[in-house]
Amino acid sequence: MFEMMDRFLKNDPISLQKDILNHVEYTVARSRFNFDDFEAYQGLSHSVRDRLIERWHDTQLYFKRKDPKRIYFLSLEYLMGRSLSNSIINLGIRDECAEALSQLGFEFEVLAEQEGDAALGNGGLARLSACQIDSLATMDYPAWGYGLRYQYGLFRQVILDGYQHEQPDYWLNFGNPWEIERVHVTYPVKFYGAVEEEDFNGVEAVAYDNPIPGYGTRNTITLRLWAAKPSDLHDMESYNTGDYINAVVNRQKAETISSVLYPDDRSYQGKELRLKQQYFFVSASIQDIIRRFKDSHDNFDVLPEKVALQLNDTHPSLAIAEVMRILVDEENFEWNRAWDIVCKIFSFTTHTVVSEGLEKIPIDLLGSLLPRHLEIIYEINFNFVEELKKRIGLDYDRLSRMSIIEEGAVKVLLKHHDLVNCYLLVVMVGTFDGDAVDFYELWPQKFQYKTNGVTQRRWIVVSNPSLCALISKWLGTEAWIRNVDLLTGLREHAADTNLQQEWKMVRKVNKMRLAEYIEAMSGVKVSLDAMFDVQIKRIHEYKRQLLNILGIIHRYDCIKNMKESDRRKVVPRVCILGGKAAPGYEAAKKIIKLCHAVAEKINDDSDVGDLLKLVFIPDYNVSVAELVIPGADLSQHVSTAGLEASGTGSMKFLMNGCLLLATADGSTVEISEEIGAENMFLFGAKVHEVPALHEKEPDAKVNLQFARVVRMVRDGYFGFQDYFKSLCDEVEDNDFYLLGSDFGSYLEAQAAADKAFVDQEKWTRMSILSTAGSGRFSSDRTIEEYADKTWGIEPCRCPF
């Protein structure tokens, strides 16, 4: 045993220091007597990486020996953010690293800032994958994450004159110490059936493994990302033509498949490259999974006892047809026997309620790129419709609604495809669109509801270390970091003035950090006495950033029209917005511009001073969130009721003791059940009231104060009259997202927040109760439910 332990790298500050210096000298190739912050970051991360690799090898070996049922998590998107802090915290070596560095003359926090943000995803769904993979590792589940190693992650947002511009995010430019290239783990991926492609020859998937350490465990699991490269097979014929240069250049085109992440534009679909990415991903992942299965089994009938596949939304749906193809075409299974197996291994989670979000693939495209898969889908659909006829008779309307192949035979509804094939569908909301109801009536047992969650390791321990220490002090334990239910223990101290004082101090320090960042980004100085009111998330009409901005205009207008003596009663506000608009989403881009135009007017107005400031934080991403969330007093989650499938941002704010101003939509409904509606500011139409509101005449919907602020924008008070016209027309003529009808109630909720903020004791108590009630919104809880109710897997803990 001693010998075993001896093999491990040591974690005392002296040993760490030695390793850091060695990496600076031999990995980074800098002098150990002269290196800068970035090189120190590199030396440190390579030292951390070595420690990850030790645990990762042990875990993988242990899994192989135990051969438990494994869960394979398939997602086209992961928003991992930075890895350094998270890794050293999960490894339990934070203090040791900080000490090692300080002796070398470096500060840990400064080095952590050197790391870029891994943004291989768009928004909620992608960050959810990252949180869930952290929980899977921490809770010792035998899990693998699979994804794509895009060379360009989500675009960087640059704001010029208030307009969003997109720039490529070449996140690999400065190297990536968190991945391990597996040059020998490669799989060929075949498109166009047997026929070779005209512009490049073969494509191969190469594995890049990212070790994911659990917290408080030795378990370190794998996030395997695939990159596309030209295949090694030599195409002698093209060389013989003498056109060697062109042959090489063409081969290089294979890499385009994994070159860029598609921005979430739910209407931008049916693109060939996107379909190629999806199949490339699915094909490599399934080959890898089957290879691993075959390493220790020779009978596919036990596949469902050893393998569960989780599809993150419809994006990796082709996996179902792909497994059928392998079983039938390559393993020579009879169709029904293959089908039985396939039906037992897949589960699928949907992350959207907006029905335009349904992914459809043009049949022509699928037929030319993946002819065999189209055949398989036709066959699946034929059998399915036959079975349906037996159950519901010849109700042709319903049969065509439920068919995988759409009437008119142009599109494949992959959501249906999933519903038909999966043994389980996980929905994020209690209600789902009309199509899914047809399925629910026939197979209610296939539906499960799961409340999303976020990881408290990243969202408290990494991003808010002072709150973390305070919580541990008052609970008398750090056990809540693995067992988040313990946070409820804070409830009994919520009224304790000592805790309240310390709580306020921690929050103040976080606000200072945020204020410094705001000043550095935008030049705006903000007062720490003001309420920091934050809305950060992707810009989308249904999320109603426009409602927020119109509310700010209203506040501005009120302050302007007030007597000097009344101004003294106004609760000062710093309104903070941030988020990216999909590059082709015009309305969302106009909302960003409007925010800047309004900010310019307000921030320069000496009548207003510190009473109201508006700042837009550019290039919102995971690292920015880590800084902004702990500094927020109030956060807004104000989607039109019924349109946000869940929402996970709200959970991060809640954990950090930020109060929520929200509509009753998605996760905020459950949050209010957990912490009590009296501890948040709820407003707006409820889901069941929305249909009637849509029926109302536009005029009747519009509240007077609303008409006034829209008029200000329309009349050019903030300039850019023509540019903003379509935004004004939309909310006045049609108002699909019900801004007019919710505006009055929104202002009331804002007034209630102001009132509560004046009573700092009350506010702080509400804040403590928010953190105390956030345990249910940990991804640990979600993952445990999946493991137990959906996947049927057990923990497999690698011994120390």
| Neighbour tally for 307: CB within 10 Å | 23
Binding mask 600-639 for ligand 26Q (x = CB under 6 A): ----------------------------------------
Choose between 123 and 211: whose C-beta lies nearer to ligand 26Q: 123
**Segment holding 447, helix H or strand E:** strand 447-449
By beta-carbon proximity to ligand 26Q, the closer residue of 123 and 773 is: 123
Catalytic residue among 537, 555, 580, 781: 537
Q: How far apart are CA 309 and CA 793, in angstroms?
A: 11
Candidate residues 69, 149, 276, 351; the one interacting with ligand 26Q per rule CB under 6 A: 351
Residue 726's CB is within 10 A of a number of other CB atoms, namely 11
To the query of whether residue 648 is one of the catalytic residues in this protein, the response is yes
> For ligand 26Q, which stretch binds (CB under 6 A), given 5-13, 642-650, 732-740, 769-777?
642-650
The H or E element that residue 74 is part of is strand 70-74
47, 135, 176, 352: which one contacts ligand 26Q (CB under 6 A)? 352
Rounded-to-integer distance, Cα 214 and Cα 139, Å? 7
For the bound state, the minimum distance from the C-beta of residue 277 to ligand 26Q, rounded and expressed in Å, comes to 9
Question: 128 or 575: whose CB is closer to ligand 26Q?
Answer: 128
Q: Which is nearer to ligand 26Q, 262 or 718 (CB)?
A: 262
Give the active site residue among 648, 663, 668, 782: 648
Query: Which residue stretch of 10-18, 131-139, 640-648, 673-681 sits at the interface with ligand 26Q (rule: CB under 6 A)?
Result: 640-648
Q: Does 147 bind ligand 26Q (CB under 6 A)?
A: no
Q: Which is nearer to ligand 26Q, 217 or 278 (CB)?
A: 278
Size of the site for ligand 26Q (CB under 6 A): 22
Nearer to ligand 26Q, 76 or 494 (CB): 76
- Which amino acid type is present at position 378? Y
Identify which of residues 412 and 494 has a Cβ nearer to ligand 26Q in the complex.
412
Interface with ligand 26Q includes 124 (CB under 6 A)? yes
3-state secondary structure string, 364-426? HHHHHHCHHHHHHHHHHHHHHHHHHHHHHCCCHHHHHHHCCECCCCCEEEHHHHHHHHCCEEE
Minimum distance from residue 672 beta carbon to ligand 26Q (Å): 16
Catalytic-residue membership of 543: yes
- The DSSP bridge pattern shows strands 78-81 and 360-362 to be unpaired
CA–CA separation, 659 and 326 (whole Å): 51
Residue 450 makes contact with ligand 26Q by CB under 6 A: no
Min separation Cβ 543 and ligand 26Q, Å: 9
Nearer to ligand 26Q, 290 or 645 (CB): 645
Pick the catalytic residue from 251, 351, 555, 589. Answer: 351
Q: Is 451 a binder of ligand 26Q (CB under 6 A)?
A: no
Least Å distance, CB 359 to ligand 26Q, is 6
Is 128 a binder of ligand 26Q (CB under 6 A)?
yes
Choose, by CB under 6 A, the member of 648, 741, 782, 790 that binds ligand 26Q.
Answer: 648
Q: Does 151 bind ligand 26Q (CB under 6 A)?
A: no
Q: Give the footprint of ligand 26Q on residues 261-290 (CB under 6 A).
A: 262, 264, 266, 268-269, 274
Candidates 159, 212, 366, 428; binder of ligand 26Q (CB under 6 A) is: 428
β partners of residue 615: 576
| Shortest spacing between CB 307 and ligand 26Q, in angstroms | 24
Interface with ligand 26Q (CB under 6 A), residue from 579, 630, 631, 647: 647
Q: Does 316 bind ligand 26Q (CB under 6 A)?
A: no
- Residue 726: partners with Cβ closer than 8 Å, 6 or more residues away: 586, 587, 590
- Specify whether the CB–CB gap between 740 and 696 falls below 8 A: no
Q: Does residue number 404 form part of the binding site for ligand 26Q (CB under 6 A)?
A: no
Instruction: Quote the DSSP letter at residue 198.
Output: S
How far is 428 from 349, CA to CA, in rounded Å? Answer: 8
Q: How far is the CB of 128 from ligand 26Q (least distance, A)?
A: 4
- Measure Cα distances from 332 to 288, 329, 374 in Å: 19, 6, 19
Interacting residue with ligand 26Q among 123, 142, 572, 642 (CB under 6 A): 123
Residues 730-769 binding ligand 26Q (CB under 6 A) are none
Does residue 106 touch ligand 26Q according to CB under 6 A?
no
- The answer for residues whose C-beta is within 8 angstroms of residue 419's C-beta and 6 or more apart is 348, 425, 436, 439, 446
From the list 127, 411, 652, 781, the catalytic residue is 652
* Closer Cβ to ligand 26Q, 262 or 791, answer by number: 262
Range 646-651, long-range pairs (CB < 8 A, 24+ positions): 646/124, 646/351, 646/428, 646/429, 646/451, 646/452, 647/124, 648/124, 648/127, 648/128, 648/131, 648/452, 648/453, 648/454, 649/124, 649/536, 649/537, 649/625, 651/452, 651/453, 651/454, 651/459, 651/774, 651/777
Alpha-helical regions (H) of 180-235: none
| x/- letters, 690..729, toward ligand 26Q (CB under 6 A) | ----------------------------------------
Question: Is residue 772 within 8 Å of residue 460, measured between CB atoms?
Answer: no
- Site for ligand 26Q contains 541 (CB under 6 A): no
> Is residue 369 close enough to count as binding ligand 26Q by CB under 6 A?
no
Task: Map the footprint of ligand 26Q across residues 188-207, applying CB under 6 A.
Answer: none
Residue 349 a catalytic site member:
no
Q: Judge contact between 136 and 71, C-beta under 8 A.
A: yes
Other residues' Cβ atoms within 10 Å of the Cβ of residue 69: 18
382 Ramachandran zone, left/alpha/beta (phi>0; psi -120 to 50)? alpha
Q: Which is nearer to ligand 26Q, 359 or 732 (CB)?
A: 359
Q: Whole-angstrom Cα distance, residue 730 to residue 724?
A: 10
> Which one among 96, 359, 735, 742 touches ligand 26Q, defined by CB under 6 A?
359
Partner residues linked to 349 by β-bridges: 312, 426
Distance between CA atoms of residues 753 and 745, nearest Å: 12
State how far the Cα of 146 lies from the Cα of 143, in Å rounded to an integer: 10
Q: Among residues 647 and 773, whose Cβ is nearest to ligand 26Q?
A: 647
Active site residue 538: yes
Cβ-count burial 542-552 (b if 16+ within 10 Å, e if not): bbbbbbbbbbb
Q: Out of 70, 224, 458, 543, which one is annotated catalytic?
A: 543
Residue 217 within binding range of ligand 26Q, rule CB under 6 A: no
Minimal distance, residue 634 CB to ligand 26Q, in Å: 20
Q: Min. distance of Cβ 667 from ligand 26Q in angstroms? A: 7
| Catalytic residue of the set 538, 555, 701, 776 | 538
- 778 DSSP 8-state letter: B
Q: Where are the alpha helices (DSSP H) in 656-720?
A: 667-675, 690-695, 698-701, 704-714
Give the one residue of 666, 740, 773, 775 binding ligand 26Q; rule: CB under 6 A.
Answer: 666
SS3 label, residue 506: helix
In the complex, what is the shortest distance from the CB of residue 376 to ligand 26Q, in angstroms, rounded to a whole number?
22
In the complex, the smallest distance separating the C-beta of residue 548 from ligand 26Q, rounded to whole angstroms, is 17
Residue placing its CB nearer to ligand 26Q in the complex, 100 or 358: 358
List, as one string, the DSSP characters of 293-307.
HHHH-S-GGGHHHHE
Burial class (CB in 10 A: 0-12, 13-18, 19+), 288: buried
CA dist., res. 199 & res. 247, Å (int): 9
CA–CA dist 763, 142 (Å, integer): 43
| Nearest residue to ligand 26Q, by Cβ distance, number only | 124
Choice between 546 and 598, CB closer to ligand 26Q: 546
In the three-class reduction of DSSP (H, G, I as helix; E, B as strand; rest coil), residue 588 is classed as helix
Q: Enumerate binding residues for ligand 26Q (CB under 6 A).
A: 122-125, 128, 262, 264, 266, 268-269, 274, 351-352, 359, 428, 452, 644-648, 666
Question: Could you list the active site residues?
Answer: 351, 537-538, 543, 648, 652
